Structure 1
């Protein structure tokens, strides 16, 4: 591990007489307990605790107090803890809240540690490293990478003697292909899920036209843009490329077990690449990945989640060393696997990929390794209020899907509500 520079130590540790001691020696000299908090299931807990045990085996004076829970209510608990003086030293966060926590000065500024080399991000794809920056400050480091991926039913497509979808296909080409599937199955399986309620699908479609979901603290597109998006999917439903609204609504909530490619109601679902193994576990058919329609330069290496440090931590040097270990250590990478997504460090990712025996997990890594060189620049992380905006988009899209509002009415109402939310 590299030395923590004198400047970083002076700024973050309030230490004097820095003589170039390494981060590792500083960790060894301290007997500390690091409080770490994340969301996830039993498997995530097991592998995270195993990785932390490996760290302790190398640094016996550093132990961990771990807390984890399901996603529901996680941010309520994190907000409560962060409001006091004893927030978790290290915590998991995603881009729904990264900007908000950075603006509230809850997160430790990691920039001096990056500058000194104590926190190494040189092996992260550039767009992934920058996606952890808010206002020019490094406030989070990706714990894993993922990217949107259209998951399709390869078994079904091959049984119908139809070509498999390809990287760079247009939406018009997708709809033509999807209609063939619907017709060939006599409507039993719709060709494609309708992702008009899905913010990431909208965002990538906008980026293909040189626009963004956000422009600073405002919506980055017009009501006319959103009207076109809603109309496009209304046509897909009307022509049979996408299923009926009641079927679509089942999957709009994002529950992996209810995604139409897994339940057999549609040949595609618009998901995250790292969700392929979980989807595959819900169907006997072989599933495969392809990028969303459009030029893949609209996509970017996205942090599925980040590690951030509490600004009030009493052990910033140790916390950053743990963070660096979780992101950059090959042995830790093999323990953590692909449960959160792919390792953000491309060298570690290769080590992990070579160690995997699960073909579905390997397919995820192969997909991202193949498409990452075609990614575009990362946008700024979403502003405060992103979680509410996502819910508003779902409500607007469903009002069109169910015929309660026209595409134009829904789009105009969404823009008014969304910009009002972002302005508060």
Structure 2
């Protein structure tokens, strides 16, 4: 990292001191390099080494005009390099929202001011080979004007990525407006801002959102095999990080990391298969054990259900944290029997009688599966309970007369 005391010298050097470096991006499906993120580097003659310019581009106190000049210089060198090599690969170019907003100052956007459009025409590069990353930044411009620029890029055929999800200015707003082709997550940044459990839950939510939007999911900042496994478990189909390669001056053979990634995929696939099989078996074991104990409830009507359920509490597995019954319309018809920790004595809450759960996803899904598959049981994915501070699952079980039992279980102890 370059600190502020270096800045006055760094921004005053000639063009030859600023160079693009290229960090490879791999596609999981074929295990090949499919593109490179272009990263600005400054050559330090005193230390005879290249140093990152990232600090400069995110420092609001610096000369913005000079930074834009350097940004454009690095971008042109990268596109010229792509042209000179004749390689068919993608370049991922960072586009800072505040820099873009300075271009669109009037009511009508002047396309001649869009530097990247001029470059692809000058060097005859296909827009399909360029991905524009809308980077993390404290954006204080007009979102409507930013969106109009992004739409121009899309119309020309550029792919759009939203960078650094989880940090920076209103990421959800950006995603909603832009609907990116690629959603990019920096594992390192998110890990530093979240505890381990929240970190994984947020990643899972982002992965789910990318699937629903039809966006590719790119994980960057991967440095270890554990982080690579995490990215794969979240459904990432694009990978980037020091685990594969640091940014280099030149492009690399597209199969440079093919064997490494294939070996990792085979290992991950086997481990993930065993994990899922264990989860399925664990869920089925709970269903089998509970089914025997709760079968007696199927022979009781609405009037007897609260009494019989209360009498059964001592015989329920210690992992069960709460239980109550609803009618087919989702209205709770028994007290909620609960305990804060497995194995503790049961308490009851009568105030929740009459609550409605018909709108809850677990309840709707249960009813649909009962109709479609004639199932008596359904089980949710593990979710984090903020009050209990632990992972739980919701079991739902259909009794006679279409009454439904709702059971919350400590999944970490099953």
Q: TM-score, normalised by structure 2?
A: 0.27
Over alpha carbons, which structure has the higher Rg? 2
- The structure in which a higher percent of residues are strand is 2
Q: Which has the higher contact order (CA 8 A, sep 6+)?
A: 1
Larger proportion of helix: 1
TM-score between both structures, scaled by the size of structure 1: 0.26
